[in-house]
Amino acid sequence: MVVLPMELLRDEALIWEGHPGWRASLSFHAKGFLLAALPLVVVLVLRLVGVDVSLGWPVLVLVAGAAVTVAASWVMRRFTTYTITTRRLQIRRGILSKTETSADVDRIQNITVFQSPLDRILKVGAIDFDSASDDPTDRFGFAGVNEPQALRERIVQARDESRRARPADPAGGLA
């Protein structure tokens, strides 16, 4: 049995559910590995100029730093879930405590896809959503998703279908 991170409402269907992709973590890994390798580089430079320094602890720092980087990346990806239904978008984060952010699909006004040159090569990116609200907390996004343009199109399709299914306002939106 598959357990969904959110309970579906009546007349609501799951469109897509996923986690940030591993390819999106490559830049995080590169930064972590470079930071972990810094003591080793310093020791190697000191050895080149004639200072007798042991390689033991810098290698240990490199191995431990690489392991922590990979583990942190896995935890961040595994415990972040993005869900798109015919009625809502949701982000769920956390291990012991959970933070959930959601918005009605039909309230989404703008959808922006961000990709760096490396993201484009890796076919990952971020999708930011602006909802029909002035509250800055109502803005959120999916980071590190695979094929972000295709996912944006699925969200636009769900939004358009949701708007078509909503009954028209007889007052024309005037109060």
Contact 91, 84 (CB under 8 A): no
Tokens read off for 141: 């996004």
Q: Which residue has the higher pLDDT, 80 or 1?
A: 80
Q: Which residue has the higher pLDDT, 56 or 167?
A: 56
**For 79-94, what is the mean pLDDT?**
91
Q: How many residues appear in the chain? A: 175
Per residue in 16-48, pLDDT (tens digit) is: 999 999 888 888 898 999 999 999 999 999 999
Tokens read off for 145: 């998703």
Lowest mean pLDDT among 20-34, 123-137, 158-172: 158-172
pLDDT at residue 137 tops 80:
no
pLDDT at residue 86 tops 80:
yes
AA identity, residue 28: F
Contact 100, 63 (CB under 8 A): no
pLDDT at residue 4 tops 50:
no
Write down the mean pLDDT value for the chain.
85
Please, which residues have CB within 8 angstroms of residue 119's CB and are 6 or more apart in sequence? Answer: 24, 125
Per residue in 43-83, pLDDT (tens digit) is: 999 999 999 999 999 999 999 999 999 999 999 999 999 99
- What is the CB neighbour count within 10 angstroms for residue 168? 7
pLDDT at 115: 93
Enclosing H/E stretch for 32: helix 26-48
Distance CA 128, CA 113 (A): 6
pLDDT at 169: 55
pLDDT at 3: 41
**Considering the chain, what percentage of its residues have pLDDT values greater than 70?**
86
Confidence of residue 2 (pLDDT cuts 50, 70, 90): very low
Distance CA 15, CA 30 (A): 33
Distance CA 158, CA 144 (A): 21
- Residue 66 φ/ψ, nearest 5 degrees: -65, -40
